[in-house]
Structure 1
Amino acid sequence: MSKNVRTTNKELADAVALSPSSVHERTKRLLNSDLVSGAHLDVDLGQLGLSLRALLFVQMSEHEKSNLDAFVHDVLEIAEVRAAWMISGRFDAIVELVTRDTAHLHRVVVERFSSREEVHRIETSIIFDGAEQRDLSALLDIDT
């Protein structure tokens, strides 16, 4: 299922050599557990005109670090923000953005991030290319 959430029950049953009814019950239990929190579609944002992806490395003002959790959740309200994480190290947060072009990116960074009192410093990196791993089968085989 981690490879393709749209795999049919019959395909799953064939892959694991179980009956479709057994796979259905196991899948239902899995989806009702706290292990799986949802499924998503991968949308090609480039086809929507949002082809520029960037990461903002954000350093908070010293007196505002206690509000980092609120900052991370607050920036998710910005339309161009796809994700935000609290991190350790030199920076306090990373924010992933999608924009139409560099002018749009510049406007979002200046108007929605640099102008914030709690933000001390921002470094911006444009993402040229990347890949994601969604197949968890090898990870589940790691010895603990």
Structure 2
Amino acid sequence: MASLDRTDHRILALLSKNARMSNKELAHAVDLSPSSVHERTRRLFENGVLAGAHADVRLDRLGLALRALLFVQMSEHEKTNLDAFVKGVLQIPEVQAAWMISGRFDAVVELVTRNTDHLHRIVVEKFSSRDEIHRIETSIIFENARQNDLSATLELAQ
């Protein structure tokens, strides 16, 4: 684990709120020179603490308004292939994320679709028809919220 000081944590918190923040703006916010902040962010990337930045695309405004979670239970003999399953489903365009989990189910898959007909088609054609899947429960996401400001979370790591 990388050794980070308060300034590194502050830089991470600021970037978690706005990944488009310029180096000059970051330097001003943490009261350091731009070259020092550039060196710190470079080190955060090299150490793997910062993995990248992304655009938050509003897929609902592009016609993909229905989000769902698939809770997947694998066939007993296929549990050893769970890692391959999770990586493999990421190749399906509608799949936004997939996780291996503990408990009654083995994986959770997040999907985005146009509507319930589209969701039904994906579940039947891309999931239910797979021999390695024993059971699927589908839950439609009505509303979601996401925490992008990591300021409080980063305090836990200090």
Counterpart residue identity of residue 81, structure 1: V
Q: Does 1:59 align with 2:78?
A: no
Q: Which deviates more, 130-139 or 87-96?
A: 130-139
Q: Does 1:134 align with 2:148?
A: yes
Counterpart residue identity of residue 103, structure 2: G
- When normalised by structure 1's length, the TM-score is 0.95
- d(CA) in 1 for partners of 2:140, 2:133: 20
Counterpart residue identity of residue 51, structure 1: A
Q: What percentage of residue pairs aligned between the two structures are identical?
A: 72
- When normalised by structure 2's length, the TM-score is 0.87
Counterpart residue identity of residue 53, structure 2: A
Counterpart residue identity of residue 15, structure 1: A
Match of 1:97 among 111, 121, 125: 111
After superposition, the CA RMSD in angstroms is: 1.2
Partner of 2:95: 81
Aligned pairs, how many?
A: 144
CA drift at 1:33:
2.2
Partner of 2:22: 8
Give the SS at the match of 1:98: strand
Counterpart residue identity of residue 19, structure 1: S
Partner of 2:82: 68
* Runs of 4+ more than 4 Å apart: none
CA drift at 1:143:
6.6
Partner of 1:120: 134
Question: Which structure 1 residue ranges, 5 or more long, are not aligned?
Answer: none
Counterpart residue identity of residue 32, structure 2: L
Give the SS at the match of 1:125: strand
Partner of 2:55: 41
Counterpart residue identity of residue 78, structure 1: I
- d(CA) in 2 for partners of 1:63, 1:141: 42
Distance of aligned partners of 1:143 and 1:11 in 2 relative to their CA distance in 1, 3 Å threshold: closer
Match of 1:111 among 125, 146, 151: 125
Larger helix percent: 2
- d(CA) in 1 for partners of 2:151, 2:25: 16
